Amino acid sequence: MTFAQRFIGAETLPSRMSELDVQQFFSLSKDDICALCERFRDDRRVAAAIQLLFLRASGRPMDRFATVPKVLLRSVCEALGSPSVSIASLRSLYERRQTLYEHQAWARMYLGLGDLDEVQLQKLEQVLAVAALEAAHPDDLVRTARIWLYGRRIIIPGSRRIAEWARKAFDATEAAMAATIEAAIGKAALRQAIDWAYAPSPATSGSHLEWLKTPPQRNAPSTTVETLEKIRGLKTLGVHNWALDSIALSKQQAYAAHVLMRRPSMTARIEQRRQTVEVVCFLHG
């Protein structure tokens, strides 16, 4: 996510904020100030302004004042010409939930933001389905969803809902990858490749998978010999003939990286479909 997008989807304000953050993302315009002064009395304006600024920067309402950076609070008070306000007084203001709802509703209307409807949800699911073809992790799709919603002036739903949509799209792509892999390699050859990966390697005390993960030693005479042995082992499996070009290279690299980052014994414990996809992508890479 770029610097300009870093607050999109945020659920709370950061505990600390720079002057640059306030200037770039949390500044009140003259129109904002006029609208706030017309709508709210003096003792409500600062709280309503923070709701407005947070909603505009993040694309979602801020439910409560868990924290408000001092630099932001000072900036808002100065812009509105209000006396200094404490965080405690802001929290006490929202003890009456109706006040919070009124401020949020006004901010939404002022910014022209709406809720996600069924038609838009279908479009979002299509966007995520395409993005999932290259996404390395469901979190990438969560970011995609938030940016898509934000750009269309749609209130960003809670994290759980977006995570479910992202996971659904990611899992669908993973299932398609597994089907592509099985069709390209064949069930028997695929089983042979997985069994070989976990079988003991004569070259080490571990499995072939662990052996392949072992980085070559610099300037060691045996490095070239070992590298050729690894190539021969993979060629015996027919890895060089696996037709996986329809799977995005970034996707293959992401799955292969999971194997590199964990012990083979841990890879062997994950769900079978994902395990197969990861190991094949690692061997093929």
Q: Show Cβ contacts of residue 6 under 8 Å, excluding neighbours closer than 6 positions.
A: none
> For residue 218, is pLDDT > 70?
no
244-247-251 Cα angle (round to 5): 120
Maximum CA extent, the chain: 81
Question: What confidence tier does 221 reach under pLDDT thresholds 50, 70, 90?
Answer: low
pLDDT tens readout for residues 95-148: 888 999 999 999 999 999 999 999 999 999 999 999 999 998 999 999 999 999
**Is it the case that residue 220 has pLDDT exceeding 70?**
no
pLDDT at residue number 2: 74
Report the distance separating Cα 125 and Cα 254, nearest Å.
22
Q: Which residues contact 68 (CB under 8 A, 6 or more apart)?
A: 13, 50, 87, 90
Dihedral angle over CA of 91, 95, 99, 103, nearest 10: 30
Sequence-distant (6+) residues with CB within 8 A of 153 are 111, 112, 113, 114
Model pLDDT, residue 192? 95
Count of other CB atoms within 10 angstroms of residue 241: 10
Residues 6+ apart with CB under 8 A from 55: 61, 62, 104, 107, 108, 111, 113
Q: Which long-range contacts (CB under 8 A, 24 or more apart) does 122-129 make?
A: 124/148, 124/149, 124/165, 125/165, 125/168, 125/169, 128/165, 128/166, 128/168, 128/169, 129/169, 129/172, 129/173
pTM of the model: 0.86
Average pLDDT, the chain: 91
Please report where in the chains the tokens 């069709």 appear, as a residue: 183
Q: Please write the tens of the pLDDT for every residue from 248-273.
A: 999 999 999 999 888 878 888 889 99
21: pLDDT confidence band, cut at 50, 70 and 90?
very high
| DSSP reduced 3-state for 197 | helix
Delimit the domains of the chain by residue range.
3-111, 118-179, 186-284
pLDDT of residue 94: 85
Q: What is the pLDDT of residues 199-210, one digit of tens each?
A: 998 877 789 998
Mean pLDDT of 41-64: 93
Structure tokens given for 95: 């003890």
pLDDT at 222: 65
Note the pLDDT tens digit of each residue in 162-197.
999 999 999 999 999 999 999 999 999 999 999 999
The candidate with the shortest Cα–Cα distance to 157, out of 5, 9, 8, 4, is 9
